[in-house]
Amino acid sequence: MACLLLSGVGMAFRTFSATLSGISGVVIEVEAARQNALPQIHITGLPGEIIKESRERVRACLNHLGFDVPSSRLVVNLSPAGARKQGSQFDLAIAVSVLMAEGFLKNVRSERLALLGELSLDGRVLRVPGVMGLIEPFEARDDIDMVLVPRENLWEANLMGSRKARPIRHIAEVIEFLSGKREIPIEKAVPPEAKKPIPQVHLDDVIGQHLAKRSLQIALAGHHHLLFLGTPGVGKSLLASCAPSLLPPLLSDDWTEVVKNFTYCPDQRPADRVPPFRAPHHSISGAGLLGGGSGFVIPGEVTLAHAGILFLDELPEFRSDVIDGLREPLQVGTIQLNRIGHAIQLPAKFILIAAMNPCPCGYSSVERRCHCSS
């Protein structure tokens, strides 16, 4: 028995990471243990395809740094085992647990540490999506003292006011920190340069339509929903595109929530503090508009339009079940997606602007041109 303890075979080493459920994070324990068998890394606990591939990324990265791993069979367990996991943010935690199980990191108190980050083959720690949601559960836990995040994600942690986030650029920094050779101080990061907003159309650019302009102003000022009804070419879509220019910049709390909502599509996030304007095509599915997906829940257009505007052009062309699904977010400002064993609630408080023709051909108000039957 003494021999087993000294060699590390059978001993479990633990650290923490997180996965996303919708846009919120769920804490995951990452455990590793050695077994007397052929060298390989085996990951258990319902890992997604990206996590399964992390075996090769972690092995190549550690071999590049001079660590000969694995020397035997290593079992890495993601707990709770019954919850599905996704994302490349597990790379760093898996690598650290592997090093501890192999005996390269000794006397390390990793139980109070959480790690988030994707590893490149040369050891660089790359940014991961959804850091704001991933950090949130750790902020509420007293047994976690520090969360190591990629340097490129630090501005998101600063935006949400994280007290535990520390930036890292390379896994070598983590190894030196765990070995007691360096400290990782608190830093402040400058947000990336905001992308140039798409040139907005202003009401002054629209000639005529004084009643429609006034209606649009009143609807936006009072956060009322609005339906434009008129023949093709009369200016319905043009008026709707003027709406973003009439809204004020978002407050800090609202902007933080908008950034979090764009977890899965950060490249589509609007410019700094600009209210989102989403205009999905009428062929969109129910999952695309309301959110959903197979296995993992991804926010839909109603969540991406939170604190902004959702524009549905050619409203009658949308599927009836898609339109019916708007009832809940319009009434309560949230959307609840139910899955077996759990439910996920996403924010969905937006101003709905819709446009439609009065009949299929669009010219019912012009009797001589209308070709529709009664």
Does 162 share its domain with 282?
no
Q: Is 190 a member of any domain?
A: no
Query: For position 5, what pLDDT does the model report?
Result: 36
Among 178, 211, 242, residue at a domain's last position = 178
Q: By C-alpha distance, which of 207, 247, 201, 226 is closest to 352?
A: 226
Does the global pTM surpass 0.85? yes
Check whether 256 has a pLDDT greater than 90: yes
Residues 263, 158 share a domain:
no
Same-domain pairing of 160 and 15: yes
Three-class SS of residue 237? helix
Residue 6 pLDDT grade (very low, low, confident, very high; cuts 50, 70, 90): very low
Determine which of 13-27, 189-203, 256-270, 288-302 has the lowest per-residue pLDDT on average.
189-203
Q: Look at residue 154 and tell me whether its pLDDT is greater than 80.
A: yes
Please identify, among 134, 163, 178, the residue that sits at the C-terminal boundary of a domain.
178
Q: Is residue 107 part of a domain?
A: yes
Residue 66 lies in a domain: yes
Provide CB contacts within 8 A for 255, sequence distance 6+: 159, 272, 273
Report strand pairing: 40-44 vs 73-79.
parallel
Q: Residue 107 — very low, low, confident or very high, per pLDDT cuts 50/70/90?
A: confident
Q: What is the pLDDT of residues 312-327, one digit of tens each?
A: 999 999 999 999 999 9
* 352 three-state secondary structure: strand
Tell me the mean pLDDT in the region 240-259: 94
CATH at 350: 3.40.50.300
Instruction: For residues 241 and 202, give the distance between their C-alpha atoms in angstroms, rounded to a whole number.
Output: 8
pLDDT given at position 292 = 86
Is residue 191 over pLDDT 80? Answer: yes
Residue 338: predicted pLDDT:
84
Question: What is the pLDDT at residue 1?
Answer: 34
**167 — pLDDT class (breaks 50, 70, 90):** very high
First-to-last CA distance in the chain?
89
- Could you tell me if 276 and 268 are in contact, meaning their C-beta atoms sit under 8 angstroms apart? no
Same domain, 239 and 289: yes
Lowest mean pLDDT of 107-121, 127-141, 194-208, name the range.
194-208
Decide if 344 is inside a domain. yes
Domain that residue 285 falls in: 203-356
Whether residues 45 and 146 share a domain: the answer is: yes
Residues 160 and 283 in one domain: no
CATH number of the domain that residue 129 is part of:
3.30.230.10
Residues 78 and 142 in one domain: yes
Helix 252-261 / helix 131-139 crossing angle, nearest 10 deg: 110
Residue 369 pLDDT class (50, 70, 90 cuts): confident
Q: Are 76 and 97 in contact (CB under 8 A)?
A: yes
Q: What tens digit of pLDDT does each residue of 23-46 get?
A: 999 999 999 999 999 999 999 999
The pLDDT of residue 10: 62
Query: Does residue 193 form part of some domain?
Result: no
Tally of structural domains, the chain = 2
Residue 50 has pLDDT above 50, yes or no: yes
* 148 and 232 belong to one structural domain: no
**Residue 363 falls within a domain, yes or no?**
no
144 & 244 share domain: no
User: Residues 304, 237: one domain?
Assistant: yes
Q: Any idea what the Cα angle at residue 176 is, between residues 155 and 92, rounded to 5°?
A: 55
Cα 348 to Cα 335: distance, rounded to the nearest angstrom = 6
Residue 97 is assigned to a structural domain of this protein:
yes
253 confidence band (pLDDT: 50, 70, 90): very high
Same domain for 92 and 144?
Answer: yes
Q: What is the pLDDT at residue 367?
A: 62
Distance CA 311, CA 325 (A): 15
What CA–CA distance (Å, rounded) separates 97 from 356? 57
- Side-chain half-sphere exposure of 240, counting CA atoms within 13 A: 25
What are the pLDDT digits (tens) for 216-247? 999 999 999 999 999 888 899 999 999 999 99
How far apart, in whole angstroms, are the C-alpha atoms of residue 301 and residue 322?
11
194 part of a folded domain: no
CA distances from 334 to 54, 105, 143, 256 (A): 35, 46, 32, 17
Q: Are residues 272 and 224 in the same domain?
A: yes
Confidence class of residue 296 from pLDDT cuts 50, 70 and 90? confident
Closest CA to 355 of 322, 317, 306, 305: 317
With beta carbons less than 8 A apart as the criterion, state whether 75 and 108 touch: no
Determine contact, residues 152/158, Cβ cutoff 8 Å. no
